[in-house]
Amino acid sequence: MAVIAVYSAKGGVGKTTIAANLAWCSAHAAARRTLLWDLDPADGAGFMFALEPRRKRQARSLFAGDVTAHALIQPSSYAGLDLLPSDSSLRELDSMLLRMGQRHRIATLGKQLSRSYDRLILDCPPMLNELSAQVLRAATLVIVPLSPSPLSSRAFDFVVEEIRRHTKRPPPTLPVLSMIDRRRSLHLEALAANPTWPAIPMVSAVEMCAVHRRPLGTFAPRSPAALAFARLWDGIERKLAQIEAKTAVLA
């Protein structure tokens, strides 16, 4: 199983939107058994897939081992795609992980899911803390959404540096220019400065995901943004294949 973390220390850069749409691409286009794990107490991923919030707030109990992941996992409306939703109990997750002193708790829980899923996608809160360090240690690949500005390369370098600081074997990273508006010169500059980085357009169709509470591919499959998510997913699959081949050679 590959663990794909959608991570940035910055808020509002499109992490949840990208994680939700990639999870759908993984299950639908790539036919991978996919789990979207929401680690943000804001519960954006559950909302995006129109899940009913559970009355019992148990998301944090999973980390203490008081409840199993399978007891908390909910199916989405789409074949091959399940969710491990968050709830407000995750607000105290960071301090709990620090208290527990198990630096690889998220990785361990992820491994337990590897029999049931091919792809585990992590929607992360915008934090630099023990939780984010654990996410980075667990990740096979880190997707870093960046706001399109001339500073995006610096923002990306900052995340890469953070990853190096917190991991012994830093996972590969894939920067993504999120919310590109080609009418804006600064956005065009960011694209020109980073021509190999995937880009997701800023369009109202993407915002509508949170209104319809469905991934874009289900209601506007031929839209440029849906095609951009599909291309991004293809790029991720290619990168995972490279990582797998490299790991096989080293093994």
Residue 244 CB, shortest distance to Mg ion, in Å, is 28
Q: Find the shortest distance in angstroms from Cβ 40 to Mg ion.
A: 5
Q: How far is the CB of 15 from Mg ion (least distance, A)?
A: 5
Give the x/- contact pattern for ligand ATP in 173-202, rule: CB under 6 A: -----xx--------------------x-x
**CA distance readout (Å), 8 to 32, 59, 118, 156:** 25, 22, 23, 9
Partner that binds at residue 135, options Mg ion, ligand ATP, none, CB closer than 5 to 8 Å by kind: none
Nearer to ligand ATP, 163 or 177 (CB): 177
How many residues lie near ligand ATP (CB under 6 A)? 20
Q: Choose which of 67, 73, 107, 126 interacts with ligand ATP (CB under 6 A).
A: 126
Stretch that binds Mg ion, among 11-19, 144-152, 166-174, 214-222 (CB under 5 A): 11-19
Contact between 15 and Mg ion (CB under 5 A)? yes
Q: What one-character DSSP code corresponds to residue 153?
A: H
Q: Is 39 in the site for ligand ATP (CB under 6 A)?
A: no
- Which residue, 13 or 33, has its beta carbon nearer to ligand ATP? 13
The Cα–Cα gap between 108 and 73 comes to 17
CB of 249 to ligand ATP, least distance (A): 35
Using the structure block, give the residue that is written with the tokens 């001339």: 150
Find out whether 2 and 140 touch, Cβ atoms under 8 Å: yes
Q: 11: Cβ–Cβ under 8 A, 6 or more apart, which residues?
A: 126
Q: How far apart are CA 204 and CA 207, in angstroms?
A: 5
- Report how far Cα 196 is from the mean position of its chain's Cα atoms: 20
C-alpha to C-alpha distance for 225 and 230, rounded to whole angstroms: 9
What strand order describes the sheet that includes 119-123? 74-75, 81-84, 34-38, 119-123, 2-6, 141-146, 173-180, 199-201
Contact status: 85 vs Mg ion (CB under 5 A): no
The nearer residue to ligand ATP, 33 or 156, going by C-beta atoms, is 156
Helix, coil or strand: residue 121: strand
Find the angle CA(139)-CA(21)-CA(11) to the nearest 5 degrees: 65
* Positions that interact with ligand ATP (CB under 6 A): 11-17, 40, 42, 44, 126, 178-179, 200, 202-203, 206-207, 210, 225
* Positions that interact with Mg ion (CB under 5 A): 15-16, 44
